[in-house]
Copies of this chain bind each other. A is one copy, B any other.
């Protein structure tokens, strides 16, 4: 794959991600993606022969980004649970790492993709299932799951814009979750 081709592909994935985050799945049409990326629909379908191929590529890129960040957080000494919490707020806690440019809100937005296609959704589901399985092996599985659910619920409410609390409260919530995650990791 040439460099030029790869650049265009990334542009298309960026455009699709942008649309799904800011305008929702229902706006994720091939025409819209092509237009946003500054490419013709023909050009889009040259690189991704179907809408599903485009969505699959989107999910795979996100997965890869997340796995890399999660691994790097664990290498910094954070336990599995705390690393997971920090995964959700990394770009806000460490703005200097904005280069990594991962926002887990993407994941929530991407979850809505599950509504559209079942085929590839199952693959992602399987990965998430195995990932969350380890959360049931910690010192306090109940608390661990509460932390996980709280983060997901928070991101969801953020994505849909319902009942969003002021920033200070959000930061306090994250802080407390990190605290508890740290305790759980220590006990485990």
Which residues does A use to contact B, with CB under 8 Å? 24-26, 111-112, 114-116, 124-125, 128-129, 131-133, 135-136, 141-143, 145-146, 148-154, 156-157, 160-163, 165-166, 169, 172-173, 176-177
Contacts and interface: CB of A to CB of B under 8 A. Distances in A.
A148 B156 contact: no
B26 A161 contact: no
A137 B66 CA distance: 35
A176 B150 CA distance: 14
A152 B145 contact: no
What is the total number of copies of this protein in its complex? 2
B145 A177 contact: no
A78 B149 CA distance: 23
Contact of A146 (B116, B146, B161): B146
